[in-house]
Structure 1
Amino acid sequence: MNFIKRANILQFLFLLLVLSSCMKEKKIEISEIKDADLPKGTLPKMKPLTNEKPKLTAEYINTTRNSIDSFYRKNWPNNSMNGGFLVAKNGQIIYEKYEGFANFRDKTPITCDTPIHIASVSKVLTATAVLKLVNAKRINLDAKVTNYLKEFPYPDVTIRMLLSHRSGMRSYAYFTDRDKTVWDRHNTLTNQDILTIMRTKNIGLEQKTGTRFAYCNTNYAMLALIIEKVTKLSFREAMSQMIFKPLSMTHTFVLDFDKDKHNVAPSYKGNRVEIGIDYLDKVYGDKNIYSTPRDLLKFDRARNSPSFLEPTLLKQVYTGYSNEHPGRKNYGLGIRMINWENGKSFYFHNGWWHGFTSSYITLKDENVTIIALSNKYTKSTYAVRKLAPIFGSYPFKVEDE
């Protein structure tokens, strides 16, 4: 009897082992499925970049760190940054600084784990979610917006035009501010409110759709609604499931305005006067993502992974769509760029909202990431582009001491 029981137990344990092995194999298979082949209802997710290039030598790190430190002391004298700053190559952090206070009232210091509002750098993340859905064939890049948002009042605007700022729409900050019959500023504006206003208040276009580039936050507020429509999740949850959780961006989130508006780091004018919350602070997609330099490094490396997008789609992301006026500056699908005559291209996005300033730079040829975030207004955040010549033939001037 004991022998039979023992045999049954051993058989049960063997079955558990087999089932566990099968489940592990199934997980591996799902993770390797291309976005376009995912089962219906399964969201495409960002994947961390693995197999980074060889480790940097100690000599290279020390030499490069000294050059960056010289720039840092010149750009932010007397440790005046009040934010976070990071430079990495091949995913390895070469230089990192955190200075100042997240909150001047209680002297909460800014550390590597302090989430700061990344302002319009949020657009890069919103565009990334849209592009993953395009890659998974849940969104058609050249489909009309009306295919997804039935009440959208501009019939010729496509998803590509929203991403590249060629829709011709007006900024919601202007048409809700200038006329009280359009919106009562005592009420907090939402993304759905913007859509409803455009449909019901006869908000005309700024210029004819598709005729020229015009940077406009309304484009990305609409993209956030499209993400919600396609995923059947809130923008906050969709971004978490598709980007933040898969990349272990543990200090990154879309602001839950009603719950956490008083729990996040506030922003300040250059003289340290706190800037209060206003009626536009609930709108997301164009802004309202909080993050850290380390989390944005994870995000940038994932965008440089071969699994990010199919090659034909990736090429379109880094193609300039603002060509009606010849020049070096251009805009792709959710990314700014500068294209020089020497063939070099510089990809980046800056942000500014209230006192928050941000800069995200990805030097694709050199596998370099540069991130600067601040919650006390300063234009010095944007000067970090001058570090690019340390790594490649970018015609920016690096300021010496």
Structure 2
Amino acid sequence: MKYSKTQQAVNKLVEDKVVPGVNYAFIDEDGVQRYLVGNRELVPEKVKLTDGHLIYDMASITKVVGTTMVILKLSEEGMLNLDDSISKYLSSWKHPEVTIRNLITHTSGIEGYIPNRDKLNHDELIEALLNLNVGNELNHKMHYADVNFIFLGLIAKEITGKPIHQLITEMVLKPMNLSHSGFKPDADKCVPTTYDKQNGLLQGSVHDPKAQVLGSDCGSAGLFSNMDDLIKFVECILNPDSNPVLKPETVKVFYVDQTKHDLGRSYGFERINYKGMPFIWQSGYTGTFMVLIPKLKRAMIFLSNRVHPVAPNEYYIERRKPLIETYLNENR
């Protein structure tokens, strides 16, 4: 199948200098179509994007490729129940009404502001997060927040005694043969994120400030991966019977709303019904996203470093939605 309008929209992003370059792919009944456009780096020198195997900072894609898979695997093995109170595992947490299901669907209602957050060390940040409050949005509103998946990582560690990054490596990356994915990549094989004259390029080190502080205990970010591995992952979600980590019946519920009031969240992914066509998707702050259409067994994977050379580049967010809608319309 051809996606000419989507390709034009991606090319326009680069032409308009919304992103330096894009490594993207379409998966459908005809196989996999892969494309490269633009540059991998703009400063201190311009470098063209010519290698489709380069590694990207996945940012929040970590949530679905890694932490969600670990939590669901622990659930399959009877080591936790998705409707368990998180207080069962995080003893200092003061709101037992919040469940693991709330965390994985971003319906926990956790709210609050942490002063000087980026100046806190590992233990101080965890303590501050565990002292946040819960408002009246619990189960009634989806509020996407990293704290939910940081807590999921801490719960997995409490159960297994291993940090979440180690669990992701052992329970997801190795069984799926995602051999180019991990948390300590070869910097030379990575597409850079931010740049400043004092520190130079941030390349091969995680961009997310919380992930920098929490290290291997961060369940919300930290994973580096490339197109080769993301194609493998997406194909294992599109085809439940071929998933080497989770049971087919578990994978199938990725496409079902898992909230109490149909708030449009599945396990990790957002679930949207676009003009009668359901799809799930997840994005990463650094400029990554994946869109999966279950009924058609089709997907689009988009990798860019939109925070290069300077974050946050909010204009990219404005342009991302119409790009995804263009892709969805070409599948209707």
Per-residue CA shift, 1:284-323, capped at 9, x if unaligned?
2222222122211111111233254446544543332557
Per-residue CA shift, 1:37-85, capped at 9, x if unaligned?
xxxxxxxxxxxxxxxxxxxxxxx5xxx1655543433343278642321
Structure 1 pair 113–193 and aligned structure 2 pair: CA distance change class (3 A): farther
| Correspondence for 2:75 among 104, 128, 134 | 134
Asked whether 1:104 is paired with 2:43, we answer yes
Q: Which residue of 1 aligns with 2:127?
A: 196
Report the TM-score, using the length of structure 1 for normalisation: 0.65
| Correspondence for 2:56 among 116, 126, 129 | 116
Letter in 1 for 2:68: A
**Matched-pair contact (CA < 8 Å) for 1:119–1:287:** yes
Q: Which residue of 2 aligns with 1:390?
A: 330
Per-residue CA shift, 1:119-144, capped at 9, x if unaligned?
22222122122112212222211111
Structure 1 pair 216–279 and aligned structure 2 pair: CA distance change class (3 A): closer
Asked whether 1:221 is paired with 2:150, we answer yes
**Matched-pair contact (CA < 8 Å) for 1:372–1:381:** no
| Correspondence for 1:267 among 190, 193, 197 | 193
3-state SS of 1:112 partner: coil
Number of aligned residue pairs: 305
Q: Which residue of 1 aligns with 2:310?
A: none
Unaligned runs of at least 5 residues, structure 1: 1-59, 394-401
**Matched-pair contact (CA < 8 Å) for 1:152–1:195:** no
Q: Which residue of 1 aligns with 2:254?
A: 317
Structure 1 pair 371–96 and aligned structure 2 pair: CA distance change class (3 A): same
Report the TM-score, using the length of structure 2 for normalisation: 0.78
1:2-401 correspondence to structure 2 within 5 Å: 60=1, 64=2, 66=4, 68-77=6-15, 81-90=20-29, 92-102=31-41, 104-105=43-44, 110=49, 111-125=51-65, 126-170=67-111, 175-176=113-114, 179-180=115-116, 185-188=118-121, 190=122, 193-199=124-130, 202-207=131-136, 209-255=138-184, 265-268=191-194, 279-282=209-212, 283=214, 284-303=218-237, 304-306=239-241, 308=243, 309-310=246-247, 313-321=250-258, 330-340=264-274, 342=276, 344-352=277-285, 356-377=286-307, 378-379=316-317, 380-382=319-321, 383-391=323-331, 393=332
Give the drift of 1:366.
Answer: 1.8
Give the drift of 1:145.
Answer: 1.3
* Structural RMSD (CA): 3.3
Q: Which residue of 2 aligns with 1:399?
A: none
Give the drift of 1:194.
Answer: 3.7
Letter in 1 for 2:219: G
Identical columns (%): 19
3-state SS of 1:240 partner: helix
Q: Which residue of 1 aligns with 2:313?
A: none
**Matched-pair contact (CA < 8 Å) for 1:88–1:368:** yes
In structure 2, C-alpha distance between the alignment counterparts of 1:275 and 1:322, rounded to whole Å: 41
Structure 1 pair 289–207 and aligned structure 2 pair: CA distance change class (3 A): farther
